[in-house]
Amino acid sequence: MTTITKPEIATEILEDIKTSIDNEKQVIVHCCFSATAFGDFLIRIWPSTFLIDATTGHRSALIHHENISLFPYWSVVPPMKDYWFTLIFAGLPKDCTSFDLKEIIPQEGGFEIEGIKRNKTDVYKVKLS
Q: What is the mean pLDDT of each run of 10 residues along the chain (129 residues)?
A: 60 59 79 81 94 97 97 91 95 97 93 96 93
Please give the pLDDT value at position 26: 96
Please give the pLDDT value at position 23: 53
Q: Would you mind telling me the total number of residues written for the chain in this entry?
A: 129
Distance linking the first and last C-alpha atoms of the chain: 67
Please give the pLDDT value at position 16: 58
Residue 56: closest CA among 22, 94, 19: 94
Please give the pLDDT value at position 3: 61
Neighbours of 114 (CB within 10 A): 11
Please give the pLDDT value at position 21: 47
Please give the pLDDT value at position 114: 96
Please give the pLDDT value at position 27: 98
Please give the pLDDT value at position 51: 98
Residue 47: closest CA among 62, 33, 65: 62
Please give the pLDDT value at position 85: 97
Q: What is the DSSP letter of 118?
A: P
